[in-house]
Structure 1
Amino acid sequence: MEEDHGDARLAARIRALTGARHPVAAAVVSPAGTRIACLGAGRDTSGDTTATATANGLDADFEIGSISKGVTGLLYAEALARGEIAARTTLRELLPLGDAPAGRVTLESLSIHRSGLPRIPASAHPWRRTVALWRHGTNPYGENIEQLLDQARGVRVGKPRPRYSNLGYELLGHALARAAGTSYEELVLRRVSTPLGLGCFYLPATAGRLRPGAVRGTNRKGRPREPWTGEALGPAGGIRADIRSMARLTEALLDGSAPGIAALDPVAPLGAGARIGAAWVTVKVKGLTVTWHNGGTGGFRSWLGLDRAAGTGVVVLSATTASVDRHGFALLTGRGDDRPQ
């Protein structure tokens, strides 16, 4: 593994929590400042230097998975504030879905996972793709927008109850882009990356568009996994970022300078004891109110959580499929070294 980079104290804490057998990065944001660290970036678990390794591990970028939905939630709230859409705007008004049942779904219902859309459309053969991922590490996504719309035209819409949907967030993000007269990739650049100064925060449509510093993901056994890329996937799970950019995003979420900050405010129930805003989930943990989202792809796990009342936040990015949720919660809500200082 490569040497540690960044804050030594945070690096030691992350090593203790995760074992650091795979590349892992973390950021702790508090009123006292921001600390970041990255361990092991630049080599995969077999010890081979990747073609995209960088001299500084803090420049290494990871798949953030479904934290991308949190970004789409911000863009949804921002579009509402700009008057580009209304909560009751339907997909049919923005995307060419014709008379398909999915066209009647509102953007508001998509934003809180209450649209009735399935997690993945049956026409995408999710079981077949899952088996291919397990056996060969292949990317189960990769569709372009036209292929996504073809899938959406054939789905059945169920009851409007809480139901996590990757398809729903893919459609929401691309609908928001159409409302703004651009692509989702460009919308993220214009309204998130550039205004907030996120140096490495991007959506590769293909593996060939990965940047220098792109970390290679693995499963728990250390077997390499293909990157999850695809034009359609972007709004639901296609963003890659380095830890510096994720720390800057966390700062903006805490100080209110992020676009669409109202997305963090819970508006609907989501299971026992949880509430949801536009993608962002709010729960009570150890007496604290925590707003958070996590992410998981074929070779990565991620977590971003905020204690908004205290002005503290934590990000954890890992290049393997072992969950980092409990590590993120420990850093945000624990005591002593577990608690942001």
Structure 2
Amino acid sequence: MSAGSALATQAGALLGSKHPTYVVALVTPGDDEVDAVGAGVHGDVELGSVSKGVTGLLWRDAITRGELADDAVLGDHLDVPAALAGIRLSALATHTSGLPRLAGGADVLARTWQLWRSGRNPYREDLAGLLARLDGVVPGRTGPSYSNLGFQLLGHAVAAAAATTYADLVATRIAAPLGLVDTYVPTSTDELRPGAVAPRNRAGREVEPWANVALAPAGGVRSSATDLAVLLRAMLEGTVAGAEALEPVAPFTGRMRIGAGWLTGPLLRRTVTWHNGGTGGFRSFVAIDREHGVGVALVSASTRSVDGAAARLLAEAGDRT
């Protein structure tokens, strides 16, 4: 694995000057490269909804271990209202459960306003608090509909089936087997490590990190450039736990299909498996092009998108293979 300024320079040129802090990993058939600007290559950043891809891996791994049946339902593993108990975990994994994007609660609009006005983390519950907010939630249509709530419940159901916590699942089944030293799930800001990169909003002002028990499976995983390179390699080689999650099994939107969290479809003339993410102070994009054996991860401490820059990095790497 190499680290050098060339990759950071290439990423910076694609991102532009309004991304002063970012980490990047690029995996090709011949090398794994990592770099960072405004942080170290071991500085951990928020992956946001890329965490859903991690949760998809953990779900498929739990099935392989025999902890969950393919047709397991939510009520078998979490104390949810009767209206939600029969939802299959497979439907949560493919965003076809009919659940809304967020849990209910009279304070949803107030929390959203606080996020945009002062950068406060809108996700504040522990697991019991999340389950309490499900009263009155009724599934809607079962076609593809993106749901943060669905993946929160999926991850906690998988953890319950293993008689542990979501943070522990990430540590023992993803991080430890791959030797990831910077990948973890803080459930409060007190658990942030010394190398944690601070989140910043569009204006560059530091905001509150997203570290919370309830949020964790949908947006709470943190990682570094160094660890993301290892994860990309394991995804490309199929050695990551629950690698079946990467295989598309259902239509999503447009020409995209979905596996367990991971999307697969055309991107800059390539077929790419990917997920992006956004929190109150980070934007992320993680993707692999299995045909060309390349992968990219790009995370910026900003609320400005990195999708286009990451896609270009991936395409240019594929052109060189």
The bucket for the TM-score relative to the shorter chain is: over 0.9
Which of 170, 182, 197 aligns to 2:164? It is 182
- TM-score, with normalisation over the residues of structure 2? 0.96
Query: Are residues 340 and 170 of structure 1, via their aligned partners in 2, closer, same or farther at CA, if it must alter by over 3 Å?
Result: farther
Paired position in structure 1 for 2:30 = 32
Q: Does 1:278 align with 2:260?
A: yes
Q: Does 1:16 align with 2:13?
A: yes
8 Å contact from structure 2 (residues 104, 135) kept in 1: no
CA shift for structure 1 position 103: 1.4
Paired position in structure 2 for 1:143 = 125
Q: Deviations over 1:166-195 (max 9, x none)?
A: 111010000001111111111111110000
- TM-score, with normalisation over the residues of structure 1? 0.90
Residue aligned with 2:308, SS = helix
CA shift for structure 1 position 79: 1.2
Note the residue ranges of structure 1 that are not aligned, 5 or more in a row. 42-56
8 Å contact from structure 1 (residues 122, 155) kept in 2: yes
Query: Are residues 15 and 287 of structure 1, via their aligned partners in 2, closer, same or farther at CA, if it must alter by over 3 Å?
Result: closer
Which of 256, 272, 282 aligns to 2:238? It is 256
1:92-241 alignment, distance < 5 Å: 92-97=75-80, 99-123=81-105, 125-241=107-223
8 Å contact from structure 1 (residues 252, 258) kept in 2: yes
Identity of aligned residues (%): 45
Query: Are residues 338 and 89 of structure 1, via their aligned partners in 2, closer, same or farther at CA, if it must alter by over 3 Å?
Result: closer
Q: Residue type of the partner of 1:221?
A: A
Q: Does 1:81 align with 2:67?
A: no
Query: Are residues 340 and 102 of structure 1, via their aligned partners in 2, closer, same or farther at CA, if it must alter by over 3 Å?
Result: farther
Q: Deviations over 1:51-99 (max 9, x none)?
A: xxxxxx11211100001000000011111112211232111101112x4
Q: Does 1:6 align with 2:3?
A: yes
Cα distance in 1 for partners of 2:197, 2:98 equals 35
CA shift for structure 1 position 126: 2.4
CA shift for structure 1 position 12: 1.0
CA shift for structure 1 position 285: 2.4
Query: Are residues 338 and 84 of structure 1, via their aligned partners in 2, closer, same or farther at CA, if it must alter by over 3 Å?
Result: closer
Note the residue ranges of structure 2 that are not aligned, 5 or more in a row. none
Q: Deviations over 1:89-144 (max 9, x none)?
A: 111101112x4311111100000000011000221632211110111110100210
Cα distance in 2 for partners of 1:92, 1:241 equals 31
Query: Are residues 338 and 320 of structure 1, via their aligned partners in 2, closer, same or farther at CA, if it must alter by over 3 Å?
Result: farther
CA shift for structure 1 position 339: 4.8
8 Å contact from structure 2 (residues 201, 281) kept in 1: yes
8 Å contact from structure 1 (residues 290, 305) kept in 2: yes
Q: Residue type of the partner of 1:216?
A: A
CA shift for structure 1 position 301: 0.4
Query: Are residues 135 and 305 of structure 1, via their aligned partners in 2, closer, same or farther at CA, if it must alter by over 3 Å?
Result: same
8 Å contact from structure 1 (residues 61, 241) kept in 2: yes
Residue aligned with 1:273, SS = coil
CA shift for structure 1 position 338: 8.1
Cα distance in 2 for partners of 1:154, 1:22 equals 43
Cα distance in 2 for partners of 1:217, 1:285 equals 28
Which of 239, 258, 277 aligns to 1:295? It is 277
Query: Are residues 170 and 100 of structure 1, via their aligned partners in 2, closer, same or farther at CA, if it must alter by over 3 Å?
Result: same
Q: Deviations over 1:298-323 (max 9, x none)?
A: 00000001101111100001000000
Cα distance in 2 for partners of 1:253, 1:272 equals 24
Alignment: residue pair count: 319
